[in-house]
Structure 1
Amino acid sequence: MKPKTIKQKKGPGGNLGLARLGIILWLVILAWSPGLFARSVQGEANKEETRWYSIRLGEETVGYVKETGSRLQQAGRWYWKSVTESKIVLRRLGQKVEMRVSYEHLETDEGLLKKITAEQLLAGSRVRTEIEVEEDRAKIKNLTGNQVFSREIPSSGRLLGPVGIGKLTNDKLKRPGDKVEYRTILAELAQVISGERTLVGEEVVDCGRNKMTARKVIDRISQIETTRQVWLDMEGNEVKAVEPSPFGDIVTCLSSEQEVMEAMAASRGQEQFFQSSLIRSNVRLPQARGLDRLVVRLKHSQPELGWPDLANEYQKILENSGEVKVVELKRVPLRSSPDGQLSAEEKKPYLEANTYIDINDPEIKRIASEVAGREKNVFQKALKLRDWVSRNLAFDAGFVFAPASEVMKAKKATCAGYAALLAALLRAAGIPSRYLMGIVYANGIWGGHAWVEAWLEGRWVPLDAALPSPGAADPARIAIARSSLAEGPGGSLVAAQKFFGSVSVEVLEFSLKGRTVKINQNQPLYEVKDNRYWNPGLQLGLRAPDGFTFAELDGVWPDRTLLALKGPDGQVVRLFQEGWFPSENLEKYLLERLKKEVNGGRQIQLRVWGKKRPALVSAEKSALAILNGTDLFLLVASGKNSEKLLAGVAAALENRLIAD
């Protein structure tokens, strides 16, 4: 029998916070935060009213939330059904990044949660989560492609849905200072969470349509350690909300479909939101992928958020004073005495398939067998799988997060996808693996990143396919969360929420090939004096040819430019810094890289820093590749007599950290 539906009179203001929480938590992967909110529970009517909300970052509208609600009668009992659809569109590295999250909550007429259905579309396919709440447990089912993964969590006590939380809010928050506590299930974390709401008072809110008097409420969720400000109308519907994110405050305001769509169409999609989440380094690190050790000072601008657990086998806390931590980071040797052993039960979650590490995919099994099946040495087996991922995937900023099987099919991903696929291949080859989230150094910045750890002969060894090193992953990174991903990435994102956008990084010293360099606190990133450029971090210098001036000296990732020289007749010379790549044929790789700069040039060799280096030259453009340890420098000269100009600048290029 088809359920009877009676449409709700007042607009559904209830699970707007849930929808935004899903979006913000996923924003952490690109670089987070939440709540649910009150739904009006007025009587039945014949007309359904849909509410639209704009999502703004700064002055720009970047997304929307659409909410509808209805009452259903099933087997003689009434239920509330809330449906929320949300979307955010940003730009990152010139590409559109689109994230969609939808929710459906079903709860009793009294507001007790019965079922949640959530879907995330962050790449090419949807990931669906279904949660059914029973008296003492919640049954969780994750569906992706044709695979289903099921588990249970305990859920004793009263768990409320959006309507239930709204009713509780309206019933209990009467005077400023009144508080109320609630418990519910958050789909992204797939766990029971506790919240507390406090009524601040009444304020006039202006969302651009009209002004109205609203009640301001502070909502705190303990498991996520976040606080959001919310304004409710007199019927309990959400009007406005402000909450933090790595890119600044996210503001949600009551709007209309037309206003939201017009604002999004006019959005410029600026990249500053992502740039604001990057941490400028106080030093340009030489051969970052080849470093042996670093010591960094971390300073938390919001220590009340707490710190994620940073201490592990290769991250040692040297100083800890609340808002400041000094951490020593070391490279893990591939061959060394084991730290310990894991039992079969302890290894189990790191060998099993789950929603995102779906190792039962036939193609993942095939590649794992072909690449590493005959290799006996477990270290080499892991490195071969890492190298395969590095060589066969392309970076795509719009491919936010997806199961490993989808990454395998698309052959593109962000670092999150590189890590998911490598973790899956390792497990398919019988090697326990876990997913890491943290920050990494790259070309002058520290930014959010994902990589993996593999259990290799008695210790966890970090491996990175997106920013590879010749062996284990380098120590120019800080791990802040580890997970099997059996429960999804939500737990890691919550840990990241305590870190991203709130912590600064200062390099105090680094070690490279037995040499330790201490960083002077007042040391500049670079200096130009008497027409000579000097970079104290890279220990690299260059004197400009007569008539040339330095330019473009402040580029950081994703800009590869270290410096540029502008000549009197329009000539331009640029020096790019890139990283090491696990190429099967180094000479061929360098030549192909040069061909991307020079079309149809003549191949020659130039002696730089004591070695012959490959170059492609032509009348108007010439390029030179200089591999120094794990740094690849590309020197590109454009304009008349480019070959002669290239040779002259290359001869003047100096480096005091020349690798063997």
Structure 2
Amino acid sequence: MRETTDARPSAFRLRPATVILSVVCLAAAAPHTEASHLMNGPQDEWHRLQILDHHVGWLHTVAERSVYEGAPAWRVRAEFVMRLLRSGTPIELHRVRVVHFGVETPFAPYAFMMTSNESGEERRVEGRVSEGSMRMTTHIGGRSREHEVELPAGTLFEEAVGYYVHERLADIGNTHSTHVFNGDMLLPMLDAITIDRVEAVELPRGDTVQATVVEHALDWMDGVRMTEWYDASGQLVATEMDALGVPMRVLRTSREDATGMGEASDLDVILATKLTVQGPSPTDPTHFTARARLSEGDIAAALLPTQRQEVGGDDGGWVQLDVRRDAPPAAPAPFPPPPSAHDSLLTPTVYVEADDAAIVAQAREITGQAENSWQAVDSISRWVYAYIRDKTLDKGFATARQTLDSRIGDCTEHTMLAVALTRAAGIPARILAGVVWQRDAFYYHFWYEAFVGEWVAMDPTLGQGPADARRIQLSGGALESDTALEFGEGILRTLNRLELVTRE
């Protein structure tokens, strides 16, 4: 990204930026000022992030006038830090996003760059608008991948929406819909905006301000909703988002308050999102039944019917779940397998590097004695379980090759390495997301399935092949794009909203 900056400032905000931490999706926001404030000096503002009423991080935003490839532009840099616990293990998520958008062509997106550390190493995504498309390159683990998406006319960067709202929709009752490029999904999303009312908001330092309430409805997962409050000068006061089952709030504050949270918050996202059941603990690894519902949302859209998981009936919002463990196939496909209708699931991705030379060589070594595809898959799953020696939770989202090198990880790392090795061996495989029973509750989890003449579920994290029946597969479990958020859509639909009643 080529850029120069000068001392003439602007001020905008970063809209909630969704961040995946394996089992939880979190959001943050940053400031905006009205047009009359744009030339008063560089904006430098701090916001405090709260989740479930815990102070977990901060957002620092600097906005200023700039030039991008010879054209006047606004430049916004937003730095996001979140500190959490995962089963007692501290984890820090750090992300920086820089965007440029138009001055003479108001709000028109030009380019962005984002870096993040969820894989344990830097992940960098660079994008620029050309001929109506966002053309992007993702760099991670020494590899790069190019991709692009078409942008509908009038698409805005998230960082430009606050300015757009203040300029175009200032009066109570105004509504408008526009596409917004989401920097985490790397896709444009339709945002239905309503200027709703005026009310008082209390800030962390104890002061209360009168603020205009702006409601947003994003066209994603049945409509994710977000509320923002702006003071009379156009400054963002607060943002709230509760559509993912986890109450999140961002509040304007001082630098000292925003960053004054110590080395880690006391919020443990694993324990905060575990799913306890009504009824007896499931004990049969071959068969599991339960009634399920969502306290909010469509249960049918959240649960995925498969050959091993039946979802039936609708009794006042409750559905019946019946899950059975796969049996090892009686007539598995030969190895190497013949072409199948599922060969699109042999494709390498940024996170699942099935074409990496080291992964290909390791897959060949593991499966060298396999007589059929089932033996090859079973050998890979067992090898991954034994190979990853440090079953730690301090990684956010490492790639398969990073895990092959480090031998460190939790369920995401076990699963991505196993899928990469399976694909490298020529066997179609795909990632699954859901919840799995462990000791006292269901916990959010990832595993995979491989096509060996039929689909068989494997869990290399727990050393299970085929995978235990005491799990529920959720919709949206995939990782075929360059964004980790796609991986957990089913989890996001159910987070803190799924209810289960088990049977004997």
Give the equivalent residue in structure 1 for 2:353: 358
Aligned match of 1:399: 395
CA distance in 2, matches of 1:402, 1:267: 21
* Cα distance change, pair 3–369 in 1 and its aligned pair in 2 (3 A): closer
Checking the alignment, whether the CA contact within 8 Å between 2:385 and 2:460 is kept in structure 1 is yes
Post-superposition offset of 1:191: 1.8
| Change beyond 3 A, Cα 1:167–1:488 | closer
Note if contact 2:65-2:73 (Cα within 8 Å) is conserved in structure 1: yes
Measured in 1, the distance between the counterparts of 2:478 and 2:23 equals 18
Equivalent residue, structure 2, for 1:389: 384
Report the secondary structure of 1:498's partner residue: helix
Question: Do the aligned residues in 1 keep the contact of 2:118 with 2:396 (CA within 8 Å)?
Answer: yes
1:39–1:162 CA contact under 8 A, matched in 2: no
SS of structure 1 residue aligned to 2:154: coil
Alignment of 1:165-564 (within 5 A): 165-209=161-205, 210-224=207-221, 225-244=223-242, 248-262=246-260, 264-265=261-262, 269-271=266-268, 273-281=269-277, 282-286=279-283, 288=284, 291-303=285-297, 307-321=301-315, 323-336=317-330, 347-393=342-388, 394-457=390-453, 459-469=454-464, 471-480=465-474, 481-508=476-503, 519=504
2:353 counterpart letter in structure 1: D
Structure 2: distance between partners of 1:250 and 1:136: 34
User: Counterpart amino acid of 2:219?
Assistant: S
What is the aligned partner in structure 2 of residue 118 from structure 1? Answer: 114
Report the residue type matching 1:233 in the other structure.
D
**Shift in alpha-carbon separation, 1:96–1:153, aligned structure 2, 3 A:** same
> Contact between 2:289 and 2:323, CA under 8 Å: does it hold in 1?
yes
Contact 1:396 1:412 in 2 (8 A): yes
**What letter corresponds to residue 217 of structure 2 in structure 1?**
R
Counterpart-to-counterpart distance in 2, 1:8 and 1:324: 58
Whether the 8 Å CA contact 1:111–1:163 is kept in 2: the answer is no
Deviation at 1:144, TM superposition (A): 0.7
Query: Displacement of 1:482 after TM fit?
Result: 3.0
Contact 2:120-2:397 within 8 A present in 1 as well: no
* Paired residue total: 492
- The alpha-carbon deviation at position 49 of structure 1 amounts to 2.4
Counterpart for residue 80 of structure 1? 74
CA spacing shift, 1:330–1:115, aligned 2, 3 Å: same
After TM superposition, give the deviation of residue 153 of structure 1 in Å. Answer: 2.2
User: Partner of 2:92 in structure 1?
Assistant: 98
Deviation per residue, 1:504-556 (Å, 9 max, x gap): 12223xxxxxxxxxx2xxxxxxxxxxxxxxxxxxxxxxxxxxxxxxxxxxxxx
1:279 partner SS: coil
Q: Larger C-alpha radius of gyration, 1 or 2? A: 1
Taking the aligned partners of 1:464 and 1:423, their CA distance within structure 2 comes to 11
Greater Cα offset, 129-138 or 411-420: 129-138
Q: Which amino acid aligns with 1:260?
A: A
Aligned mates of 1:50, 1:490 — CA distance in 2: 29
Secondary structure of the structure 2 residue equivalent to 1:62: strand
Equivalent residue in structure 1 for 2:23, among 30, 39, 42: 30
Answer whether contact 1:139 1:151 (CA < 8 A) is retained.
yes
Residue range with higher mean Cα deviation, 434-443 or 493-502: 493-502
Following superposition, the deviation at residue 486 of structure 1 comes to 2.9
RMSD of Structure 2 on Structure 1 (CA)? 2.7
The CA distance in 2 between the partners of 1:449 and 1:182, in whole Å, is 35
- Check the 8 A contact 2:11/2:31 in 1, yes or no: no
Q: Once the 2 structures are TM-superposed, how far is the Cα of residue 495 of structure 1 from its aligned partner?
A: 2.8
Pair 1:184–1:57, CA change in 2 (3 A):
closer
Shift of 1:231: 0.8
Q: Any gaps of 5 or more consecutive residues in structure 2?
A: none
2-structure distance, mates of 1:322, 1:136: 46
> Is the 2:282–2:288 Cα contact (8 Å) retained in structure 1?
no
Classify 1:351/1:259 alpha carbon distance in 2 versus 1 (closer, same or farther; 3 Å).
same
Q: Cα distance, 1:75 vs. partner? A: 5.1
Q: Secondary structure at the match of 1:413?
A: coil
Return the TM-score normalized by structure 2: 0.90
In the TM superposition, what is the alpha-carbon distance from 1:450 to its structure 2 partner? Answer: 0.3
Give how far 1:499 is off: 1.0
Using the alignment, how far apart are the partners of 2:96 and 2:3 within structure 1? Answer: 22
The equivalent residue for 2:145 is 149
AA of the residue aligned to 2:395: F
2: distance between equivalents of 1:132 and 1:74? Answer: 11
1:217 is displaced (CA, Å) by: 1.4
d(CA) in 2 for partners of 1:236, 1:369: 60
- Tell me which of the two structures has the higher relative contact order, counting C-alpha pairs closer than 8 angstroms and 6 or more residues apart: 2
Q: Deviations over 1:434-470 (max 9, x none)?
A: 111111111121110001111111x22211111232x
Deviation at 1:349, TM superposition (A): 3.7
Give the counterpart letter for 1:6 in structure 2. Answer: D
Pick which of 141-150 and 129-138 moved more: 129-138
